[in-house]
Amino acid sequence: MLDIAMFRENADMIRADHDRRGISHDSIDEIIRLDEEWRKAQYDTDQIRRERNSAAKGIAEAKKSGDISRAEEILSEVADLGERIAELGAMADECLRKRDELRMRVPNILHPDVPVGEDDQKNTLHSLHGSKSEFEFEARNHNELIEMNGWVDQSRGAKVAGSRFYFMQGDLARMEMALQQFSADFLIKRGYTLVQPPLMMNRDAYEGVTDLSDFETVMYGIEPDNYYLIATSEHPLTAMRMDEIIEPNELPVKLVGVSQCFRREVGAHGLSDRGIWRVHQFTKIEQIVVCHPEESWNHHEELLENAVDLWDSLGLHYRVVNICTGDMGTVAAKKYDLEAWLPGAGSYKEVVSCSNCTDYQANRLRMRYRTKEGNEAVHTLNSTAVATSRALVAIMEQNQLEDGRVSVPEVLRPYMGGQEILEKLSSLQ
């Protein structure tokens, strides 16, 4: 959510941003109109309250001096004030509610470096890492590999839960855990604090961190308790300090979250999504930074560097792209994606997303830090380190052997008792 001061003092900046995104200005003008209306109604209400307060004071004084008739006289004069306050106040509240309902939907102001474009085709190449592996055989896609090795049981997942649920088993499950531990350790060494968050959040906290439309398309709701299963540990970790004033010496807060992530994936279909690429449940290791506003762009680069170093250490080939205006979403001001090369699929696909959300989430979460001038919104950033399901797909496709087995990235072997090759599930042999 953008600071209301920006609508009052710098609306042209928001309009210019909407132009870059190619969306209408209408809501900006409506927000400004509602804001003016609210300020007027709020002022009028304050004036009547003021009247009421001074009358109340008069009554208190009259009673104190024993002048009961004087007290009753004042009382009769102000008898209807309560009703007027209630009426005007309700009008003011309604304006404010409408204003902020619209304001919640206005996207963040984009960084100038964000390329302009309609969709992901216009994302620009930032850097290329590693190179395509040469196979002397026809590379399989990951879905074929998990089927022939019995590493993922999709049909029984569908039976006991639903489509896009799965049982991961055998050596692949073992490597999944190794990936979690390796990635967490990698970031702990760089000064990040490991956090295991709640996997459910309440509505109020959740509205602070995400696009409102996600409630319809992404998050699972838990009835009758009104909780939402988290779509990523970014959400609880960022909301962790909502409604707090943070002492400047506590910044930057650097966290590495590990959690299961739950996503409805409404509307996502297609043959290319078979297997574990796009599923309702997966594990993700996530980086989070909460920092001074003037330091967030440095931290954004640092998060990218961490992700790049981590993926380099896994020995994988991928590229980094700078996400364009049309592919950006509501919350981030700038976003890099890492796209891993999938030889079986023959394309680069998204495995990491690295965002600077500036003060957008902090404004919604009322998350501020103390300065000499007053309390100011902090900046929040997040980046995937590893989403294990997708990293496993990249490892399987890039490290596959002719017989369908998969070699384990060297850095993961110590976490797997030295195991070098993922073997077929023994019950299949």
- By the criterion CB under 7 A, which residues form the site for RNA? 4, 39-40, 42-47, 49-50, 52-57, 59-60, 63, 75, 78-79, 81-82, 245, 247, 370, 372, 374-375
Separation of alpha carbons 299 and 290, rounded Å = 9
- When the beta carbons of 22 and 82 are compared against RNA, the nearer one is 82
In the complex with RNA, the residue whose CB is nearer, 78 or 411, is 78
The span from the CA of 166 to the CA of 384, in Å, is 22
- Among 424, 429, 428, which Cα is nearest to 149's? 424
Quote the least distance from Cβ 326 to RNA, whole Å.
33
Distance CA 63, CA 37 (A): 39
For RNA, the closer of residues 306 and 363 by Cβ is 363
Concatenated DSSP letters of 408-428: PPGGGGGGGTT--EEPPPGGG
Least gap, CB of 71 to RNA (angstroms): 7
45 vs 400, which CB is nearer to RNA? 45
CB of 184 to RNA, least distance (A): 21
DSSP bridge pairs for 296: none
Do 236 and 254 meet the contact criterion of CB atoms below 8 Å apart?
no
| Residue closer to RNA (CB basis): 164 or 235 | 235
Minimum distance from residue 58 beta carbon to RNA (Å): 8
Nearer to RNA, 42 or 419 (CB): 42
Measured from the CB of residue 65, what is the shortest distance to RNA in angstroms? 12
- The answer to whether 325 touches 114, Cβ cutoff 8 Å, is yes
Minimum CB–partner distance for residue 56 and RNA (Å): 3
Shortest distance, position 87 Cβ to RNA, whole Å: 12
Distance in Å, CB of 96 to RNA, minimum: 9
**Cis omega (within 30 of 0) for bond into 197:** no
For residue 382, what is the enclosing H or E element?
Answer: strand 379-387
User: Between residues 81 and 411, which has the closer beta carbon with respect to RNA?
Assistant: 81
Sheet containing strand 221-222, strands side by side: 200-202, 227-229, 221-222
| Omega before residue 293 within 30° of 0, cis | no
Give the H or E element holding residue 185: helix 170-188
What is the C-alpha separation between 279 and 68, in angstroms, rounded?
74
Closest among 116, 145, 142 to 19, alpha carbons compared: 116
3-state DSSP assignment of residue 126 = strand
Residue 185 or 376 with smaller CB distance to RNA: 376
